[in-house]
Amino acid sequence: MEVLKVSGQSNPKAVAGALAAIVRDQGSVQVNAVGAAAVNQAVKAITIARGFVAPNGIDLVTVPAFSEIEIDGEERTAIRFIVMPR
């Protein structure tokens, strides 16, 4: 499963386009976000992506979870969103 990393400065529309393309090609994608701003951008991107794929009859759902990831040698808690068609 492909992993998209979202930061607080990510453009939600650009992330949504990448997310929609991956869902169309591979069926599901994992989106990781660390911090409140990044989670905000990720949720916006997932919402926008739903609109991108809806005309093709695809209804996206997401499963949020906590995830421990390593950034610059430090353990950080991320929010992981698994995005897949219903």
What pLDDT score was predicted for residue 70?
A: 87
pTM over cut 0.85 = yes
On the question of pLDDT at 69 being above 90, the answer is no
Condensed to tens digits (0 to 9), the pLDDT of residues 33-58 reads 999 999 999 999 999 999 999 998 99
Query: Measuring CA to CA, how many Å separate 10 from each of 2, 4, 6, 59?
Result: 18, 11, 6, 24
Q: Rounded to an integer, what distance in angstroms lies between the CA atom of residue 21 and that of residue 82?
A: 15
Q: First and final CA of the chain: distance in angstroms?
A: 17
d(CA 21, CA 11): 16
Average pLDDT of the chain to the nearest whole number: 94
CA distance 3 to 74: 19
Map out the domains of the chain with their CATH numbers: 2-85 (3.30.110.20)
